[in-house]
Chains A and B, each alone.
Chain A
């Protein structure tokens, strides 16, 4: 790479590789070839200082000058050679024509500068600095990182290896944290995956002063002497959290960098070493911003500015900070909760045009830059007027075909008979709110003031709930952004049939059964639409019980579409990950609650912990927002505050409930008693300002007014439990919960795998950790509805091959690829191109631990007709030798599957090819219908696993699949024989034994080769066959061969299309086993137990470089 010519000194740190009259090609000492003390010192210097120069460079110098100019640098020798050669071709010849050396230098510098200038365009797009690129290169080399692993940032620090601090560099990348130090010939390397981190903490102990502690399942690591400890720690937390989120959501491909940042409007972009770091910082800021103002997730913070806001309702200037993003201007006062304001830019547009003062605000410090920027942002907005118009047109044209109409709030249809006093209270509240909103405005842009929050705490009047919930939670913004989406989702969701819809259907009548609206179709249909539409919108959640309960209450107070968007906001923003397939969010918050209880109510925490209660209470309370434990008309008051203030509210209410009942709880002797106390208390929470519409009379003894409870919760815990504190604790507990879930999945998988009794537990453990490592780069399967725990780990062919060839003794010779492919097909039970962890462990286990019978049977089955695809067999028509076949098999897999590429499209392609292969089977074997063919495949697979517990067999009621393998036709048998030869070629006696057995078998097969036997299964010959050999018709009416007794010769599934004389040639499994096992050497060979621990260790070494010193 050419660099701007710069004067440098010829220093001792460089070795000259080549010298010409005007140019010198140099290599950094300590790099590549040169060895010796000086190179070690240079290495240390480079490692200690953040100079990290590129290891190769070209200098320009004229013979009579002492001054050197560096004109090119490069990371690899190849690269520098390119530049070097270019110089010779293009520059050197012209240099002789100059008169003076100054002119030469001037020309060279000018030339290089111009090259750089022409390349300028690409350089501005290049987001990262040269220095960073060098480090990035080093990072990938040193830690053996895949190319697409991105380095985020690097910091100088010390790592405590034992009692010795090592000065070096901490590298933080998207998936790993690494440490490297190189001091006087001793290097220390550490590589930790974020996904393995269980705890991150800032500590300050005597032993490790002022350090960052990183805990993994393998141990603790301490880093000290960080220059920017807080920044480093924050970044570590953020990266670990991203890793956890990926584990939760099973979509690791979602980490996208935001290129828009490059063209960010802001002027003074801070200097950061990597673009990615800037990106992550920006993401974090935007996250906080969207959380604070409840804006849609996609909103990106553009900048903030100190300013004052003039509030018309009290005619005052308020100091605070203004936030700007693509679609919003927000303001938050410096005094917390004094005033907060959100203005969607599209409203600004309208206000300007209408020139009304609905959201008039004046900015104290109003810089020209800001005005400019806001107008820039405005210009970027799509033309709303147009969009709305077209939207309406679409809506009206569609209106006729719609089979349903969205429900208004159900409380408007099912009216309560309010007593006079309640009516009065409600009216009074409505009046208060009307007055308030007259002052502060209505809708998204209303000023959120202290008076407003006080009104919320007292409880929102029923008639305004729908509107205010939507405004406070920000769900109204989502609704506006996605116009028409709900309608489309409902249409699609109701016409589809899936598991989520079935589960929803079962729960519709179990949501809020006491409310009359849900005792007839009006409410039930609306609830069905909302839940089904959401399950379709967010498949990672689908449907989780408890959502039905929340949604039914939303429907009472809000119009249907609003209820849908409120539900979406709850599931995605307010209670993140709560309802996903592993209820992770609820578990995280369980941990958060536990920690809060411990710090706020220590003695009660000890008691509840002793009773084992901490894990019981929060689940239903949190998942249903108290609706399932309190009367719903009381729970909605908690929801008022929840939408206004966020998840902190449920924590403070929970703490208050525990606090109020503390004395009683402390006296409990067992968990049931404590649960009783709490549930009686909760059922008795009353709301005297509203009337419930319920067919179930509220008979519980009244304990407290909900208004009092909410008020107390703010008074006692409002200040101690802040949103920031909750977010922080969630981060911490997420690490722990995800680790636990992964561990328990792993534990269950191990337990299931051990039942095969092939590999030893410690081997399985190692194997599983290797599988996890291998899968880490690929997409994980959603762990929903797993038949068995090991199904969570599924490998495609590339991944399977990597591990299988490294571990199995069968995958060592020339046939490794072919055998691996056949075992893969054998283990791929559902033909989806993916094999589970069990498939792999059994595949390896059979080849190393099974007895001779098992191993030979597995090999036989892998070569049996339905499995061995005709694609692999085709060349038999041209050649009789096995070799070409095998290479063909190799190219078959190679062409469709570039090794170990996790690209889903490729993955699809292999499964497509596999199923295509089956279709070939089906189309050529006209005697086999689709179902029969798959049955035959199943029975072959089951036969291969004979003697192992089968996962489905113990399920009550389902008969175990038949376990028979068909006879092998000649071409199949030849392939099998070739494979056996390959396995035994290392030893002459074995090889000869195989040859002997092979000869016998070939003769045996020849015996069975009786042409014109009439065993054709084709339609017209059936009669003939029946007449010739009544007893030989082993086919049941379905054409199934499953009824055959083992040992009886079986017809091969012959093909009508290409009948040739060898067609009836066949060898049965029993013949094969018997013949092979008569050879004692072979029996011994196949009985030999092979340890795979050394291979496992080697694989592990390749994958992980743990502290090599």
Chain B
């Protein structure tokens, strides 16, 4: 496919409070790490242009609030997402256990067209720390059990694997996007129609 038009990818970052969602996003977009971020309330977002397979792609990365009581408010932000990034903290097992519920919640609320093949990426963050509590093997196993979700071990602080992870995110999201394009000729309508489709099929899919 040629780079005939501008492509916009919407990426949602989810995960428990304090796992480093904001830091990962800023490391990727601004190439810097700071320990001076406010807790994210509601949602925040940054954009970055990347090149995937000779195509210029604008990634619109949405960073969300992690505290449990905000979980159900995410629906406004999930809409039209092309890829969902789930983050946990390798030093905090609880944040790993929550992945399942974040994933479920996202699928329920965003109700993507093809929930079984919706692109997720899992990031185990803070690998620079010594007190690691979730082994790579355990995380890998879980990812495999969930339809082979790509898994990366990252450190937002030391910029380990961040670039690579987001490249994969962009690529997988783009694949999803391209698929969506086949359904429609007019780029402006893609999202709306995709959503409408989802809504109609919601009933069939929810019993997954």
Q: What is A's interface to B at a CB cutoff of 8 Å?
A: 503, 506-507, 509-514, 544-546, 548-549, 580-583, 587, 612, 615-616, 619-620, 623-624, 628, 669-670, 672, 675-676, 695-696, 744, 748, 751, 754, 785, 954-958
Number of interface residues, chain B, beta carbon within 8 A = 42
Given contacts A510-B38, A546-B39, A612-B76, 12 further A-B contacts (CB under 8 A): A503-B17, A544-B69, A545-B70, A582-B69, A616-B76, A670-B191, A672-B47, A751-B108, A751-B207, A955-B97, A956-B100, A957-B134
Please give, as numbers and ranges, the residues of chain B lying within 8 Å of A612 by CB-CB distance.
76, 79
Question: Are A545 and B79 in touch, CB under 8 angstroms?
Answer: no
Give me 8 A-to-B residue pairs in the complex whose CB atoms sit less than 8 angstroms apart, sorted by A's number: A506-B18, A507-B18, A510-B38, A545-B67, A549-B38, A615-B76, A620-B43, A751-B108
Give the complex CA separation of A503 and B68 in angstroms.
11
Give the complex CA separation of A803 and B70 in angstroms.
34
Question: Are B73 and A513 in touch, CB under 8 angstroms?
Answer: no
Question: Are A619 and B73 in touch, CB under 8 angstroms?
Answer: yes
Cβ contacts B1-38/A at 8 Å (1 or 0 each): 00000001010000001100000000000000001111
Please give, as numbers and ranges, the residues of chain B lying within 8 Å of A615 by CB-CB distance.
73, 75-76
Contacting A545 at CB < 8 Å: which of B65, B100, B108?
Answer: B65
* Closest Cβ–Cβ distance, residue B99 to chain A (whole Å): 7
Q: Which A-B residue pairs are the 5 nearest by beta carbons? A: A620-B42, A619-B42, A615-B76, A513-B36, A956-B142
Please give, as numbers and ranges, the residues of chain A lying within 8 Å of B35 by CB-CB distance.
509, 513
Give the complex CA separation of A358 and B130 in angstroms.
64
Contacting A583 at CB < 8 Å: which of B60, B73, B79, B207?
Answer: B73
Please give, as numbers and ranges, the residues of chain A lying within 8 Å of B191 by CB-CB distance.
670
Question: Are B100 and A954 in touch, CB under 8 angstroms?
Answer: yes
Within 8 A of A (CB), among B184-208: 188, 191, 206-207
Question: Are A510 and B97 in touch, CB under 8 angstroms?
Answer: no
Question: Are B45 and A672 in touch, CB under 8 angstroms?
Answer: yes
Closest to B61 in A: A672
* Closest Cβ–Cβ distance, residue A617 to chain B (whole Å): 8
Please give, as numbers and ranges, the residues of chain A lying within 8 Å of B141 by CB-CB distance.
956
Question: Are A545 and B41 in touch, CB under 8 angstroms?
Answer: yes
Cβ contacts B161-202/A at 8 Å (1 or 0 each): 000000000000000000000000000100100000000000
Give the complex CA separation of A669 and B43 in angstroms.
19
Cβ contacts B138-153/A at 8 Å (1 or 0 each): 1101100000000000
Give the complex CA separation of A624 and B40 in angstroms.
11
Interface of A, secondary structure class, is loop
Closest to B92 in A: A506
* Closest Cβ–Cβ distance, residue B97 to chain A (whole Å): 5
Within 8 A of A (CB), among B56-84: 60, 65-70, 72-73, 75-77, 79
Please give, as numbers and ranges, the residues of chain B lying within 8 Å of A587 by CB-CB distance.
73
Give the complex CA separation of A587 and B66 in angstroms.
17
Question: Are A754 and B41 in touch, CB under 8 angstroms?
Answer: no
Please give, as numbers and ranges, the residues of chain B lying within 8 Å of A620 by CB-CB distance.
41-43
Given A548-B39, A670-B8, A506:B17 Cβ within 8 A: yes
Given A615-B76, A670-B8, A672-B47, A513:B37 Cβ within 8 A: yes
Please give, as numbers and ranges, the residues of chain B lying within 8 Å of A619 by CB-CB distance.
41-43, 73
Question: Are B41 and A549 in touch, CB under 8 angstroms?
Answer: yes
Question: Are A669 and B188 in touch, CB under 8 angstroms?
Answer: yes
Question: Are B99 and A956 in touch, CB under 8 angstroms?
Answer: yes
The reply to whether the CB of B96 lies closer than 8 angstroms to some CB of chain A is: yes
Please give, as numbers and ranges, the residues of chain A lying within 8 Å of B72 by CB-CB distance.
582, 744
Give the complex CA separation of A582 and B68 in angstroms.
9
Question: Are A957 and B138 in touch, CB under 8 angstroms?
Answer: yes
Give the complex CA separation of A956 and B141 in angstroms.
9
Question: Are B70 and A510 in touch, CB under 8 angstroms?
Answer: no
Question: Are A616 and B60 in touch, CB under 8 angstroms?
Answer: no
Give the complex CA separation of A243 and B126 in angstroms.
46
Give the complex CA separation of A546 and B43 in angstroms.
12
Please give, as numbers and ranges, the residues of chain A lying within 8 Å of B75 by CB-CB distance.
615
* Closest Cβ–Cβ distance, residue A959 to chain B (whole Å): 12
Question: Are A583 and B69 in touch, CB under 8 angstroms?
Answer: yes
Please give, as numbers and ranges, the residues of chain B lying within 8 Å of A511 by CB-CB distance.
38-39
Question: Are A513 and B38 in touch, CB under 8 angstroms?
Answer: yes
Question: Are A956 and B138 in touch, CB under 8 angstroms?
Answer: yes
Give the complex CA separation of A462 and B14 in angstroms.
39
Give the complex CA separation of A954 and B38 in angstroms.
33
Closest to A675 in B: B45
Closest to A695 in B: B36
Within 8 A of A (CB), among B87-113: 93, 96-97, 99-100, 108
Closest to A579 in B: B69
Please give, as numbers and ranges, the residues of chain A lying within 8 Å of B41 by CB-CB distance.
545-546, 549, 619-620, 623-624, 628
Closest to B34 in A: A513
Please give, as numbers and ranges, the residues of chain B lying within 8 Å of A676 by CB-CB distance.
47
Please give, as numbers and ranges, the residues of chain B lying within 8 Å of A616 by CB-CB distance.
42-43, 76-77
Give the complex CA separation of A587 and B17 in angstroms.
21
Give the complex CA separation of A673 and B120 in angstroms.
24
Give the complex CA separation of A655 and B60 in angstroms.
26
Question: Are B69 and A581 in touch, CB under 8 angstroms?
Answer: yes
Please give, as numbers and ranges, the residues of chain A lying within 8 Å of B142 by CB-CB distance.
956-957
Please give, as numbers and ranges, the residues of chain A lying within 8 Å of B207 by CB-CB distance.
751, 754
* Closest Cβ–Cβ distance, residue A1003 to chain B (whole Å): 47
Please give, as numbers and ranges, the residues of chain A lying within 8 Å of B10 by CB-CB distance.
672
Please give, as numbers and ranges, the residues of chain B lying within 8 Å of A548 by CB-CB distance.
39
Please give, as numbers and ranges, the residues of chain B lying within 8 Å of A514 by CB-CB distance.
36
Question: Are A956 and B45 in touch, CB under 8 angstroms?
Answer: no
* Closest Cβ–Cβ distance, residue A419 to chain B (whole Å): 25
Closest to B68 in A: A785
Give the complex CA separation of A748 and B99 in angstroms.
18
* Closest Cβ–Cβ distance, residue A374 to chain B (whole Å): 46
Question: Are A549 and B42 in touch, CB under 8 angstroms?
Answer: no
Please give, as numbers and ranges, the residues of chain A lying within 8 Å of B76 by CB-CB distance.
612, 615-616
Closest to A617 in B: B42
Give the complex CA separation of A544 and B41 in angstroms.
10
Closest to A750 in B: B206
Closest to A506 in B: B18
Contacting B97 at CB < 8 Å: which of A581, A675, A956?
Answer: A956
Question: Are A628 and B69 in touch, CB under 8 angstroms?
Answer: no
Closest to A755 in B: B207
Question: Are B96 and A623 in touch, CB under 8 angstroms?
Answer: no
Please give, as numbers and ranges, the residues of chain B lying within 8 Å of A545 by CB-CB distance.
17, 39, 41, 65-67, 70
Contacting B206 at CB < 8 Å: which of A506, A672, A751?
Answer: A751
Give the complex CA separation of A583 and B70 in angstroms.
7
Give the complex CA separation of A544 and B39 in angstroms.
11
Closest to A586 in B: B73
* Closest Cβ–Cβ distance, residue A43 to chain B (whole Å): 49
Question: Are B69 and A512 in touch, CB under 8 angstroms?
Answer: no
Closest to B47 in A: A672
* Closest Cβ–Cβ distance, residue A934 to chain B (whole Å): 21
Give the complex CA separation of A580 and B41 in angstroms.
15
Give the complex CA separation of A507 and B39 in angstroms.
7
Please give, as numbers and ranges, the residues of chain B lying within 8 Å of A513 by CB-CB distance.
35-38
* Closest Cβ–Cβ distance, residue B98 to chain A (whole Å): 9
Please give, as numbers and ranges, the residues of chain A lying within 8 Å of B96 by CB-CB distance.
956-957
Please give, as numbers and ranges, the residues of chain A lying within 8 Å of B77 by CB-CB distance.
616
Given A513-B36, A670-B8, A544:B73 Cβ within 8 A: no
Closest to A613 in B: B76
* Closest Cβ–Cβ distance, residue A555 to chain B (whole Å): 15
Closest to B145 in A: A956
Give the complex CA separation of A675 and B76 in angstroms.
13
Give the complex CA separation of A958 and B98 in angstroms.
12
Give the complex CA separation of A615 and B72 in angstroms.
12
Question: Are B97 and A544 in touch, CB under 8 angstroms?
Answer: no
Give the complex CA separation of A892 and B35 in angstroms.
60
Please give, as numbers and ranges, the residues of chain A lying within 8 Å of B43 by CB-CB distance.
616, 619-620
* Closest Cβ–Cβ distance, residue B128 to chain A (whole Å): 17
Max chain A C-beta neighbours (<10 A), residue from B38, B67, B141, B191:
B38
Closest to A510 in B: B39
* Closest Cβ–Cβ distance, residue A678 to chain B (whole Å): 11
Closest to A621 in B: B42
Give the complex CA separation of A580 and B68 in angstroms.
11
